[in-house]
Structure 1
Amino acid sequence: MQRNYWPTKEWQSGDPEALGMDARKLAELEPVIRSGYGNINGTVIVRKGCIAYESYNNGYGPDDTHHVASVTKSVLSALIGIAVDAGFIKHADQKVLDFFPEYVPGAADGQIREITLRHLLTMTAPYPFEDWHEPLDKMCIQPDWVKYTLDMLGRQGEIGTFKYSTAGAHLLSGIITRSTGKSAREFANERLFSAIGMQEIPDYEMKSFGFEDLFGAEVRGWVRDPGGNSTGGWGLTLTPRDMARFGLLYLNRGFWDQTPIISEKWVKESTAMNDNHYGYLWWLREEGGVHAFMALGDGGNVLCCIPEKDLIVAIVSEFIVQPRDRLTLIKDHILPAVLD
């Protein structure tokens, strides 16, 4: 997709009408957000590569970073793709245990030997917990999160059945560290963030590993485990503008200003619709012939990319339990503002 400019240094804002959006309907967004989505701290809508709408609430501004929770997973997916492109990882079907040769599974744990990166990326690896009841708190008190996850991996269930696991995403971060010699944070700063104009993520020292340190208002930079691995399933802090930059990279099939950052093949595989509606750590949705891929995080953090509309919606939110569905906001109040 040809662009007149790239927001590597700063974004351009455009007149909504010139970008094919109804300015009147966009103006109705602010009262809707304030009245029904009070924990939204920032919203950026990008159409045709320019910011068509931007608003901030609760005392935040465009330069403030926010803990985007599981949006982190989709960034990690990109890093795995970049590592494959660079030859640090052979391919998505490489066995997980290739990266942990010191780990010796028990004789009864045959399944773990067959689990690949693709299974972790698509959430189709088996674990011993019930679906959507992952004991993440147990992982967070372990001295070695990677070993804890390997000990769970392949237990019960069958390979190929969808089961959402944040620990599995963290294992992918461990694989980034093992294969590249850099943490996911370091690798992202070097190979992804700097290339598309995102802020460098600072090295934030983890002084303790309590709830607030790992999940709460104390989160800074990119959370890491006791072994120094960046958390793979959450813990990254971003501005909504930088979330939108990341979305724009995927909307342009991995290219940024004619430079391939992620292979087009990886982007296509990551966002191709399937029966689970889940790609390589991206949620997938198709409705009315419109395909969207999304990074979704607890509390209502959302990066929604709609290629057919050349549209990106980035929303950052304060964590609350059971926030109102952001997809309803997008469907009822943002998509109707698209004129062409």
Structure 2
Amino acid sequence: MLIMIRFAAALLARIAALALVVSTLFALPAAAQAPAPVSGLLEDLALRQELDPLKTVIVARDGRILAERGYRGNRVTDPTNIKSASKSIISALVGIAIDKGLLAGPDQKIAPILKADLPASPDPRINDITIGHLLSMQAGLGRLSGPNYGRWVASRNWVRTALAQPFDDDPGGDMLYSTASTHLLSAILTKVSGKSTLALAREWLAPLDGFRIGAWDRDPQGIYLGGNQMAMSPRSLLAFGELYRNGGRTASGQQLLSAEWIVASWQHRTNSRFSGDEYGYGWFERQIAGEEVHFAWGYGGQMLYIIPSLDLTVVMTSAESGPSARNGYRDALHLVLGEIITTVKAGPETDG
């Protein structure tokens, strides 16, 4: 009997020791077992019917990715058409061209640069249009976006067609959102540099780790379409956003774009007549969840958000097949950003 008692006691002791080892190896603190806050939020987005077009989301803070997720088979490394979010990239290239002395500045008049493509008998107001007017969508020329976009890209010379539009306002007047304005900037960059806009982007932004432009449409003269039809991955768009969040510097500290240009780009210059958002040089601005947000916005819901007060950069990409403003989808994405901001502000992150 004594032998059996000793054997049982020894067995219980070994079981207890084994349990301790197992708990040490596999049991994690409660905070680590629970889903990380931002990761959990991104996982929940897949269940929301109003977000069916959503393809990817990336959330980064101070240069570190907190969470990223692809939906319905999409990946953050897949190229996607960022649509008009590319207007912010054109703005960056203009800023670099100014830094390099290829352009004099936002107040430089465009007519002398594009004189070969001016109408035979132009409205004299065309001589008043500046680089800054094109950047802020205040050129005054009739819009070639929306219902007019198709006939514009079907024309034989997109630059001449844009410059031949009748004036709907004086230069410097109300915002007239038009992809033709940023295409004129692409033509100007090509003229003053002697290189294609794609070559400039690849050269000037080459030190930016992770940045890459893939396919990009061109006009009949070979000029890359300023402000539309540009393929980038969400990760690449994040890298571009990080350049702005970081004051124009790369992660290694190399200054690619002047901090002064970023300030100028984010300065309120006009307002969108469609959304009411403030607009600068290729960037929208609004308050979301109590924070100032600067964002690039492309058709269908291609979004790049920068929240400087929180060192936060957020990318959202969506199916390009439908609008995002008229159907409320863009507003739904703004609400998601508000949830992300609230989650980040709530406490320390446990995301990997």
**Shorter-chain TM-score: what band?**
0.7 to 0.9
Matched position secondary structure for 1:51: strand
Spell out, residue by residue over 1:278-315, the C-alpha distance to the aligned partner (whole angstroms, 9 max, x if none).
Answer: 01010111356521110000111100000001101101
Matched position secondary structure for 2:279: coil
What corresponds to 2:171 in structure 1? 159
Q: Computing the radius of gyration over CA atoms, which structure comes out larger, 1 or 2?
A: 2
Contact 2:143 2:176 in 1 (8 A): no
Range 313-322 or range 45-54, more displaced? 313-322
Return the TM-score normalized by structure 2: 0.80
Contact 2:42 2:69 in 1 (8 A): no
What corresponds to 1:336 in structure 2? 342
What corresponds to 2:57 in structure 1? 43
Matched position secondary structure for 1:74: helix
In the alignment, residue 222 of structure 1 is paired with which amino acid? W
- After superposition, the Cα gap between the structure-2 partners of 1:108 and 1:100, relative to the gap in structure 1 and judged at 3 Å, is closer
- Percent identity between matched residues is 31
Counterparts of 1:109 and 1:306, CA distance in 2: 41
What corresponds to 2:233 in structure 1? 239
**Does residue 156 of structure 2 align to residue 143 of structure 1?**
yes
Structure 2 gaps of 5+ residues are 1-30, 272-277, 348-352
Structure 1 gaps of 5+ residues are 1-16, 203-220
- Once the two structures are superposed, the pairs formed by residues 129-208 of structure 1 within 5 Å of their partners are 129=143, 133=146, 135-152=148-165, 155-160=167-172, 161-192=174-205, 194-202=206-214
Matched position secondary structure for 2:281: coil
What corresponds to 1:95 in structure 2? 109
What corresponds to 1:222 in structure 2? 216
In the TM superposition, residue 162 of structure 1 has moved relative to its aligned partner by 1.1
Counterparts of 1:320 and 1:103, CA distance in 2: 33
In the alignment, residue 156 of structure 1 is paired with which amino acid? D
Return the TM-score normalized by structure 1: 0.82
In the TM superposition, residue 134 of structure 1 has moved relative to its aligned partner by 5.1
Counterparts of 1:107 and 1:283, CA distance in 2: 35
What corresponds to 1:31 in structure 2? 44
Q: How many corresponding residue pairs?
A: 299
CA RMSD of the aligned region, Å?
Answer: 2.1
In the TM superposition, residue 28 of structure 1 has moved relative to its aligned partner by 2.8
Contact 1:134 1:165 in 2 (8 A): no
Higher RCO structure (Cα 8 Å, ≥6 apart): 1
In the TM superposition, residue 264 of structure 1 has moved relative to its aligned partner by 0.9
Range 165-174 or range 321-330, more displaced? 321-330
Range 221-230 or range 94-103, more displaced? 94-103
In the alignment, residue 111 of structure 1 is paired with which amino acid? R
Greater share of helix residues, 1 or 2? 2
What corresponds to 1:252 in structure 2? 246
Counterparts of 1:243 and 1:156, CA distance in 2: 34
- After superposition, the Cα gap between the structure-2 partners of 1:271 and 1:134, relative to the gap in structure 1 and judged at 3 Å, is farther
